[in-house]
Amino acid sequence: MHDPKEMPARVAAFLASQEPSWNNIQVRSYEVMTGGYSRLLAKAEVHHSAGAVTLVLRGDPPADKQLIVTDRRQEFDVLTAVAAAGVRTPLPRYFDDTGAGLGTRALIIDYTSSESVIPYAARGGSLVGLPERLAEAMASFHSIPLERLPALLSRPASWEDYIGRRIDEWRRSAVAHVEDLPILRYIAAWLDANRPEAVPLGLVHGDCSTANMMLTSDGHIELIDWELAVIGDPREDIGYHKANGMAIAPDLLVGEDAEAFCRRYRELMGWNEAQLNPAVITYFMILGVIGVVSKLLNGIAGYADGTNRLLASAFNLQSIMFGGGMWIDGTKALEAALSGKA
């Protein structure tokens, strides 16, 4: 999918099979896109008899170069569901389930001209009102009824069952890793002892970082990259976003901004203050990263045993070490508050 000499003809032929009414399909440009953390990415400018369109291809890299393993079918189905619900996200167009057309299993979505939040903030763009816009963006998919979500997504039996399994994922990751990491067992025990109030289960993006957020021309937030989506506790996305913001600016969930986010989100979701407040965000800052942490640990283990040749997997060990300090600090800061001692 990264061969610009081969791909224009492949894309044109694939689109011809999907759009029989399009004549004289021409791929005028095909560019490999940077920024794809786990998938192959490319942009194609396509002209045809009825007009022109710019599309983005997201495909699987070779097996020995996959940082994490996810399912393109599930991602496409989730994209289709959230787009149908009115969530701001680039619209899904086509899916090559076998990889025969595009050279690898891949989906094609609309290209978005919105600006990534990270460079927007880095050049001094105003952050006023963005915490509230973030709350609106998250609530737009957290509130989708479960029956409108893809059947491929596993339905937990209950909130208690789901939270228990997520906490246990820390323990399972400790056991499965190539070397002993006692911090994972400590975090699991602490999370178990300080569970917050339950909330209704909903769609969780799974990688709700500013890197996957685009700012539209009218000041709203678009979400991209839905490959890690699950049904679970929506607060995991909020906590994960907080963890990401502490590492890479901007942090939209600090001080008064965190309070403004919580107020707007509770209003949209119909929750009470005990279900979401800055202390609960910090709890989920710890819990909400385990999905990515476990996948990074798998990549690190694969690099150690030679089944994964990505140097990025070795580099990600630094992320685990950085996160460890953040998790410990979080447990110390919140232990009294979340146990009811303060």
Among residues 65, 95, 110, which one ends one of the domains? 110
User: Residues 6 or more apart from 85 whose CB is under 8 A from it?
Assistant: 140, 141, 144, 148
Work out whether the CA dihedral 151, 152, 153, 154 comes out positive or negative.
positive
User: Quick one: which of 41, 45, 61 has its CA closest to 53?
Assistant: 45
38 and 143 inside one domain: no
Report the C-alpha gap between 78 and 230 in whole angstroms: 9
- Inside any domain, residue 2: no
**Looking at residue 250, what is its pLDDT?**
95
**Looking at residue 303, what is its pLDDT?**
62
Better-scored residue on pLDDT, 223 or 63: 223
Report the C-alpha gap between 340 and 317 in whole angstroms: 35
Q: Mean pLDDT check: name the lowest of 2-11, 65-74, 313-322, 325-334.
A: 313-322
- Between helix 317-338 and helix 278-287 the angle, nearest 10°, is 140
Mode of pairing for the β-strands spanning 40-48 and 92-96: unpaired
**Looking at residue 342, what is its pLDDT?**
43
User: Given the structure tokens 């097996």, which residue do they identify?
Assistant: 63
Residue 327 tokens read as 């998790």
Residue 336: pLDDT band (50, 70, 90) is: low
Asked whether 142 and 203 are in contact (CB, 8 A), the reply is: yes
129-149 average pLDDT score: 98
206 strand-pairing partners: none
Please determine, for residue 26, whether its predicted confidence score (pLDDT) is greater than 90: yes
87 and 133 inside one domain: no
67 and 138 inside one domain: no
- Inside any domain, residue 268: yes
Residue 321: pLDDT band (50, 70, 90) is: low
Helix (H, G, I), strand (E, B) or coil at 322: helix
CATH number at 291 reads 3.90.1200.10
Tell me the average pLDDT of the chain. 89
Report the C-alpha gap between 41 and 188 in whole angstroms: 35
Better-scored residue on pLDDT, 9 or 342: 9
- Inside any domain, residue 1: no
Question: How confident is the model over 29-54, as pLDDT tens digits?
Answer: 999 997 666 899 999 999 999 899 99
- Inside any domain, residue 258: yes
Asked whether 108 and 55 are in contact (CB, 8 A), the reply is: yes
Nearest-5° angle of CA 281, CA 287, CA 288? 75
Work out whether the CA dihedral 94, 100, 105, 111 comes out positive or negative.
negative
First to last CA, the chain: 56
Please determine, for residue 325, whether its predicted confidence score (pLDDT) is greater than 50: yes
CATH number at 62 reads 3.30.200.20
**Looking at residue 337, what is its pLDDT?**
62
Read off φ and ψ for residue 40, nearest 5 degrees: -75, 135
Better-scored residue on pLDDT, 266 or 173: 266
Asked whether 202 and 155 are in contact (CB, 8 A), the reply is: no
User: Quick one: which of 228, 221, 214 has its CA closest to 38?
Assistant: 228
Residue type for position 140: S
Q: Which domain holds residue 43?
A: 7-110
- Inside any domain, residue 67: yes
Residue 201 tokens read as 């289960």
**Looking at residue 54, what is its pLDDT?**
98
What number of helices (H) and strands (E) belong to the chain?
12, 10
Please determine, for residue 286, whether its predicted confidence score (pLDDT) is greater than 90: no
136 and 243 inside one domain: yes
Please determine, for residue 2, whether its predicted confidence score (pLDDT) is greater than 90: no
257 and 302 inside one domain: yes
User: Given the structure tokens 């006023």, which residue do they identify?
Assistant: 128
164 and 298 inside one domain: yes
91 and 126 inside one domain: no
Please determine, for residue 340, whether its predicted confidence score (pLDDT) is greater than 60: no
Among residues 110, 145, 164, which one ends one of the domains? 110
Please determine, for residue 339, whether its predicted confidence score (pLDDT) is greater than 90: no
Q: Mean pLDDT check: name the lowest of 103-107, 155-159, 246-250, 285-289.
A: 285-289
100 and 124 inside one domain: no
104 and 132 inside one domain: no
307 and 320 inside one domain: yes
26 strand-pairing partners: 47
Among residues 95, 110, 125, which one ends one of the domains? 110
221 and 300 inside one domain: yes
Residue 341: pLDDT band (50, 70, 90) is: very low
Q: What is the DSSP string of 236-285?
A: HHHHHHHHHHHHSS---SSTHHHHHHHHHHHHHHT--TTTSSHHHHHHHH
250 and 303 inside one domain: yes
Report how many domains make up the chain. Answer: 2
**Looking at residue 317, what is its pLDDT?**
62
- Inside any domain, residue 182: yes
Better-scored residue on pLDDT, 111 or 4: 111
